Amino acid sequence: MIFHIARKEFRNNLHSARFVIGFLLCFVLIPFSIVINIVDYRDKTIQYKVDADAAEKAVKEIRVYSALRPEIVLPPEPLSIFSRGISGQVGNRVKIWIGDNPMLAAGKTAAGDNPFLGSFFSIDFVEIAAIVFSLLALLFGYDVFTREKEDGTLKVQLSNSLSRSRLSAGKVLGILLTLLPIMIFCYLFSAVLILFSKSVTFSAFEWGRIALLFLISLAYLAVFIFLGVLISARSRSSVTSLVFCLFIWVFFIFIVPNVSAYIAESFVPVQSRDNLDRVVNDMDRDLTSQTQERQKAQNLPTGISCQWCNWGDDGLLETYGNSRADFEIMLRKITISEPLRIEYADRKWAPQKSYLDSLIRQSRVAERISMISPAGLFRVIAEAVCSTGVRAHESDMVQARRYRETFIDFLRNKNVFASYRYITAAPPETFRTEDQLVEIRSGGEFKTVREYDEWAAKQKDRFAAWRKLNKVTAYGDRPDDFPFLNVSDMPRFQGRSKTFASGLADSVVQISVLLIECVFLFALGYVAFIRFDVR
Amino acid sequence: MKTILKREILNNLYSLRFLISLALLLGVFLAGAFSYVKGHEAALGKYQIARSQYDEAMRKDAESNATNLAVTMRSFTLRPRDNAFIDDAKEKYLPNAVVYSAWNVFSFENKSGNSNPFLNKHDDLNWAYMAALIVSFVTLIFTFDAVSGEKESKTLALTLSNSISRGAVLFGKYLSAVATVLLLLLPAAGLNLTIILLAGRTPLTLALVVELGGFLIIACLLAAAMAAFGLFTSVVTRNSNVSLLLSLCIWLLFVAVVPNSSTFIAKTIYPIENSETIQRKVDAAFDDLNKNAPPGSWMMNSGNPFLPQHELRARIVMKRLEAEKSIRDAYYRNMFRQFERTRLWTALSPISLFQYSSEAVVGGGYPRFQKVWNDLHIYQTQFLSFFKDLDAKDPKSPHWHNPLENVSTTRQKVAIGTVPQFSERPMSFGARLRSALPYLLVSVLAACLVYVLSYILFVRYDVR
């Protein structure tokens, strides 16, 4: 009997305008979102390849360890085609510094090269599905009892030996059977678009996750069907039921997710980034003064005198053509500065972590508030399934921080902070004295530094005097005289594991809540219909 | 006509949808008010920290020497607006700081920490958001069955059997829907405003009153446009269920589809060069300048400002600045064009039109950024001429203008009080009107067009 009622309901729905319009809505919106996100994924993949190649090249084309700072480039998540999560808001590049722990990923966001585009929002499959499936479920469910009551057919049906339980089960099943083909169509259509897209290749892992997403969509659809049925069973007329359903729909789909983020932003403040930057800058200044103090204690000069120098962030110092004495001074300096730099990175991490935690805490609060709405729950679960949420990003960053530790261990094991290879590719045995350098560079005109200085002191044109010492370029004066550093033994970054279950553990609670909502709403709808006045 | 209007308004006021809409609007406006008060206070706190650091850095540079003051790059951050409760204009996602020195306005940036990257993108609960989402929805809910619903309940034929024209009936329904929406919006907005004013952070000034009035006018226009669409869906079908579905489809198109396809449109229809290409162009220009630079141009010895190599280096650094500026400024213009053209596409949606008008009325968002960007360019030339005057008066300076280094120009201290300071001036109301006018005109045109179409269809409508 249940199936009989379901079949009748299904046929009635199938011939209704709402089915046709609902189907057309999906037919337009689903490919729209999938195509947009495939294009976006293709762009991200192209950018990823460019960035990854650049990062690889940057590691290979260096000559000294002080320049060796690998960059992790995280590949775009293929399932971001379905749910973007925060993947469009965070970068995908993490530079590994010895003087800083990775905090936030850098690189381009969804806005690409134009920061103004950041003010445009985008929509993905999951959001479209959340909007359309819930709308259809409510539109098919809102008059499931009230319509028949208004037509007078409900009384007739229940005057037979048909129980209310069977009737309600049959009607719910009928709506589910009506909407199921639309949902299957949406997923199949998306799958076809992905299969025909040259820029996307899904592995078994991704297809498995899509199947899981389908099952979760089914539970989400059921929640709204049961909600529609409940409202119908509690309303006196179809118009009342419809008005309630529509406002509940707007509230759950559009208002709650937005309000949750805004309330979290207002009431769970994040620490000031400017303040953090100031604290970190102060620590950097402290690092510099500590380094200088320790170097001074060892009678090392403050400045650097070098023939060819390239210096920069995170202790980068590449130098050539100096005298042996200068090289020795520089080596003694980095032996002091670099371990201290690593020590300060750990000190800086405390305020940085506190800031990061405040960001995560705010997003967690927003997430929890948004779970008032089934759409919020669906979105959070979809982000976990598609590995595009905050947790997946956090996991990537944890891996990046671990990799930094491994990288520093690699440097320490090679004892690079006490090696000339940290600052120059010139072998120590090729280092010359200052007198030798003056003789070579002046083309034999001066034999010693003293001789040159005495001559230079008499010159009015200092520039001409300087040029005397650049007559001849000696071997080892330029980096091009030496080969690149062999870093084949450097540990490489391993991304997070991609097994079917990975990352899903965190969303078990949310999935359970969604299922409980399903059961609860079904039970409420059933009780409401049992007490429904059919007259 | 008056009777129809009165009857329709009363019908709307006594309807369940009015009560639910009112409850929803009051609830959301209430939440919006408290969140705004709290969030605005925090935003102002953060801004004060950034601003005091900016002022302190400028003071220190001035105390060290005028050249330091001139060559140091500073980031001027925009203050959170006090009228952001009307419309924040998505400013947290737009660049909110401009980097400049006396020599150039270099770039703009969205200062990190402005928005939490782990938080999904969202609108603030301000009036504009509530109007764009809820008012547009409620307007459709009040109009989707204006004709088809009456046909189903057989009251339409009865109404038209009296000596009343179809035009008057339709216009009455149209006006009543707009009026009902206003009656919903006003108490909710009033409640929101009262809480915000009582919180004491936002003073009630004449400018704010004008902004509030301007906002209400464009909100009316939005309601008018959406009511026209609602009536249209009501007269193209005979069944209110189908009207409702069509209304919802139109609403989804305007609220979700058109605005959310902007990034795709921007990147597909109006692509711009990527930042890597621009950097390569800059590098190539630098290489070219370096190759043609006289020997010794990069010699560095800061001890004596009169060393001849400082002049060479000042020249090449200046040329590099000019070369980079011309490349980057052209790139920025492309960015602006890409953004503006994409917004024109999204103007297909009355809701986007409303948002763009609203940001102009409150003097925020993109028009605000553009004004600051242009004003900073004017200020930069004033700042530079101030610095050049100082340098010219200093006999100890060789006057070799180097835009990046503190070497070959005046090293005299300068009193911070004498240095021209940049402060953001709000957009004039004339400028706001000019900015909003095209969107308002399109909005009015769309509302009229759809209404006329609805009228034509209603004249031919079978009321039996």
Sequential pLDDT tens for chain B (464 residues): 778 888 888 888 898 889 999 999 999 999 999 999 998 888 888 888 889 989 999 999 999 999 999 999 999 999 999 999 999 999 988 999 999 999 999 999 887 556 788 988 888 889 999 999 999 999 999 999 888 888 887 887 787 787 788 888 899 999 999 999 999 999 999 999 999 999 888 888 999 999 999 999 999 999 999 999 999 999 998 888 888 889 999 999 999 888 888 988 998 899 999 888 999 999 999 999 888 877 766 666 556 777 777 888 888 889 999 999 999 999 999 999 999 999 999 988 999 999 999 999 999 999 999 999 999 999 999 999 999 999 999 888 888 888 988 888 898 999 999 999 999 999 999 999 999 999 999 999 999 999 999 999 988 888 77
Residue B99 in contact with residue B107, Cβ under 8 Å? Answer: yes
Q: Which residues of A touch B249 (CB under 8 A)?
A: 21, 25
Residues 6+ apart with CB under 8 A from B67: B387, B391, B406, B407, B409, B410, B411
| C-beta contacts of A293-302 below 8 A and 24+ residues apart | A294/A336, A294/A340, A295/A332, A295/A333, A295/A336, A295/A337, A298/A332, A298/A336, A300/A329, A300/A332, A300/A333, A300/A336, A301/A329
Domain that holds residue A184: 2-266+373-409+503-530
Q: Which of B49, B116, B120 sits opposite A270 (nearest CB)?
A: B116
- Tokens 């509690």 -> residue: A234
Give the gap in angstroms from C-alpha B454 to the nearest C-alpha of chain A.
21
User: Which pLDDT tens digit goes with each residue over A10-36?
Assistant: 888 888 888 888 888 888 888 889 999
Chain A, nearest residue to B340 by Cα:
A116
Q: Residue B54 CA to chain centroid, in angstroms?
A: 25
Instruction: Find residue B105's DSSP bridge partners.
Output: B100
Write out the two tokens for B206.
């004449």
In a domain, A448, yes or no: no
Q: Residues in chain A with pLDDT < 50?
A: none
Domain ranges, ordered by start, for chain B: 2-260+351-459
Q: Which residues of A touch B39 (CB under 8 A)?
A: 262, 265-266
Chain A, nearest residue to B114 by Cα:
A273
Q: Which amino acid is at B158?
A: L
Question: Directed axis angle between helix A204-234 and helix A508-530, to 10°?
Answer: 30
Give the gap in angstroms from C-alpha B33 to the nearest C-alpha of chain A.
11
Residue A452 in contact with residue A438, Cβ under 8 Å? Answer: yes
In a domain, A319, yes or no: no
| End-to-end Cα spacing for chain B | 22
Number of neighbouring beta carbons within 10 Å of residue B458? 22
Is the Cβ pair A250, B109 closer than 8 Å?
A: no
Phi, psi of B201 (to 5 degrees): -85, -25
Q: Which residues of B touch A273 (CB under 8 A)?
A: 46, 111-114
d(CA A154, CA B242): 23
Q: CA torsion angle for A456, A462, A463, A469 (degrees, to 10)? A: 20
Q: Which residues of A touch B122 (CB under 8 A)?
A: 257-258, 261-262, 265
pTM metric for this prediction:
0.87
Chain B, nearest residue to A128 by Cα:
B256
In a domain, A481, yes or no: no
In a domain, A285, yes or no: no
Interface test with B, best of A12, A16, A108, A116 (most B CBs within 10 A): A116
A246 in reach of chain B (CB within 8 A):
yes
The per-residue pLDDT for A375 is: 94
Number of neighbouring beta carbons within 10 Å of residue A505? 10
Q: Residue A200 CA to chain centroid, in angstroms?
A: 19
Ramachandran quadrant class, A415 (left: phi over 0; alpha: psi -120 to 50; beta: rest): left
ipTM of the complex: 0.91
B385 in reach of chain A (CB within 8 A):
no
Phi, psi of A114 (to 5 degrees): -110, 105
Residues 6+ apart with CB under 8 A from B367: B359, B360, B427, B431, B432, B435
Q: Which residues of B touch A39 (CB under 8 A)?
A: 264, 267-268
**CA neighbor of A36 nearest in space, from A131, A135, A127, A133:** A127
A79 in reach of chain B (CB within 8 A):
no
| End-to-end Cα spacing for chain A | 23
Residue A86 in contact with residue B248, Cβ under 8 Å? Answer: no
Q: Residue B386 CA to chain centroid, in angstroms?
A: 33
Task: Count up the domains in chain A and report the number.
Answer: 1
Residue B350 in contact with residue B135, Cβ under 8 Å? Answer: no
Residue A448 in contact with residue A438, Cβ under 8 Å? Answer: yes
d(CA B121, CA B130): 16
Q: Which of A36, A270, A466 sits opposite B261 (nearest CB)?
A: A36
Enclosing H/E stretch for A233: helix A204-234
Chain A, nearest residue to B39 by Cα:
A266
**CA neighbor of B162 nearest in space, from B321, B318, B3, B335:** B3
Is the Cβ pair B119, A17 closer than 8 Å?
A: no
d(CA A264, CA A366): 5
- Tokens 């008056």 -> residue: B2
The per-residue pLDDT for A245 is: 92
Is the Cβ pair B125, A258 closer than 8 Å?
A: yes
The per-residue pLDDT for B299 is: 64
Q: Which residues of B touch A139 (CB under 8 A)?
A: 245
Q: Which residues of B touch A146 (CB under 8 A)?
A: none
In a domain, A196, yes or no: yes
> Which DSSP state fits B271?
-
Interface test with A, best of B120, B248, B280 (most A CBs within 10 A): B120
b/e per residue B21-45 (b: at least 16 CB within 10 A): bbebbeebbebbbbbbbbbbebbee
| C-beta contacts of B443-448 below 8 A and 24+ residues apart | B443/B218, B443/B221, B443/B222, B443/B225, B443/B350, B443/B353, B443/B354, B443/B357, B444/B221, B446/B225, B446/B228, B446/B350, B446/B353, B447/B221, B447/B224, B447/B225, B447/B227, B447/B228, B447/B350, B448/B228
In a domain, A349, yes or no: no
